[in-house]
Amino acid sequence: MSRVHKYDAAKEQLVTAVEMFLNGRDRSSVITLAGAASGIFDELVRRSGKEAFVDYGRRLARELNGKTPKRSSYVHHVNTKLGVTVHKHLWDGESDTVDLDLETLAADAVLRAMVDYMSLSGEDEPFVKAYLHWRWTNEEDGPGLIERYKQVPQRMKPK
């Protein structure tokens, strides 16, 4: 029996997710592990007083649509969009097939977890750098993305 803090358990799961992702291993497992890590980092980022990924999304939704989604609804929405929910739930009467782009979902599920992890612990560790490097080299237009980001109004940028 040993005592562990959830931060460490979540970090181990994110490290495993990144290793599996960068080594071309099973995408479903990457999504589930990144989703689990996010479920813990989200609360820890809130406690740190910083803006969690989910709260940035809600703020963005308010800027775009004039209405802030309920936090629990938005978390559910994100977990559904990233394929996290379909990998850990199957309700009575649900179809036993599902259409997914696992490659994209895995990359994005890791990104969501990584954003919150970096809010807590920075971006200096090798697994973080490795993922960010992959992200940069696999973006269709990295420099263009930076230029477009510069044009985004300050109120719509992450805090």
Please give the single-letter amino acid code of residue 135. R
Report CA Rg, the chain: 16
Residue owning tokens 């559904």: 80
140 binds other proteins (CB under 8 A): no
Residue 46: other Cβ atoms inside 10 A = 16
Considering only the stretches 52-60, 90-98, 122-130, 149-157, report the one whose residues sit in contact with other proteins under the rule CB under 8 A.
90-98
CB 56 within 8 Å of CB 159: yes
Please state, in angstroms and rounded to a whole number, the distance separating the CA atoms of residues 106 and 52.
Answer: 20
Question: In the complex with other proteins, which residue's Cβ is closer, 9 or 156?
Answer: 9
Tell me how far, at minimum, the Cβ of 19 lies from other proteins, in Å: 9
Question: In the complex with other proteins, which residue's Cβ is closer, 142 or 152?
Answer: 142
Tell me how far, at minimum, the Cβ of 93 lies from other proteins, in Å: 9
Residues in 17-56 at the binding interface with other proteins, rule: CB under 8 A? 17, 20, 25-26, 28-29, 32-33, 35-36, 39-40, 42-44
